[in-house]
Amino acid sequence: MDTLRLAIVGYGKIARDQHHPAIANDPRHRLTAVASRNASVPEVANFESLEALLEQGPEIDAVSLCTPAGVRTQQARLAMAHGKHVMLEKPPGATLAEIETLREDAERHGVTLFASWHSRHAHGVAGAKRWLAERQVRRVDIEWKEDVRVWHPGQAWIWQPGGMGVFDPGINALSIATAILPRPFHLVDAQLQVPGNCQTPIAASLDFVDGENVPIHAEFDFRQQGTPPIWEIHVETDAGRMTLEAGGRRLLIDGKLQQEGPDAEYAGLYARFAELIAEGRSDVDVSPFRHVADSLMLGYRHTVEDFIE
């Protein structure tokens, strides 16, 4: 397969820290251009907008959209109309409905659309899915807690409509849960803590059940201070307790380490993107995003103290 010529659109922290290194280390991809208002990258073509890149830039095969979700749909539609394959950072859009438009566009233009969920590519996730497939799940507990000032410094957009607040990291947990659990599940209760000066929650307590009434509880919190983040999923089964730690990098069974690997989630994303393009397919799974939408629709909002950066 020929090397895919890629452009990154929106060169912020996630693009700099994760996307660019993953592309650089994968011989199937080559970073050819960047479109960003606030950053430029040496040794590639740089543009202030996707429009300028498509009109004036070098030939590219695909774009990786790392811009805020609110502008991503317009950019994805433009790229696909120009015959480019598109990878969407999570979440894949600002609303569920617009993603259906993108799905139709990809089919009409004959290009690949990839709604990416990086946490699904954490080292222990595939093993967890295989292990659970042969067990009876009895209960699931998810704990996803981090300090917003450390992980999202100065990012005011996260508190605005569409920014998702604590669901920005929480959706990573939901992306793993929807991948590893053997049955679909749905929300039955959501308690959201929303700072008085924000539009999105700083913490959330969620209860789900699956088709066999297995309880699934999740606690998301942006106020974890002074200790490392907690990114864990615990599953009680008829054959013991399975745990994913460190966002899925470590897999344990009854407290005994089974698998542990490096942080290579974005390498997995780009390998998957290349595979989809080679096969002429798209992957647009919105199940984690649907759970967030349900939580924001069904959740009871508790006003808490203002958030001050």
Is the sign of the CA dihedral 35, 7, 272, 94 positive or negative?
positive
Kindly report the length of the chain.
309
Query: What does the block give as tokens for 86?
Result: 């598109």
Is the sign of the CA dihedral 48, 60, 108, 118 positive or negative?
negative
Q: Is 90 known to be catalytic?
A: yes
Query: What does the block give as tokens for 243?
Result: 């745990």
d(CA 265, CA 189): 31
Catalytic, out of 13, 84, 90, 129: 90
Contacts of 8 (CB under 8 A, 6+ apart): 15, 19, 20, 23, 31, 33, 34, 35, 36, 41, 63, 64, 66
Query: What is the 3 state secondary structure string of 178-244?
Result: HHHCCCCEEEEEEEEEEECCCCCCCEEEEEEEECCCCEEEEEEECECCCCCCEEEEEEEECCEEEEE
d(CA 208, CA 217): 6
Which residue numbers are catalytic?
90
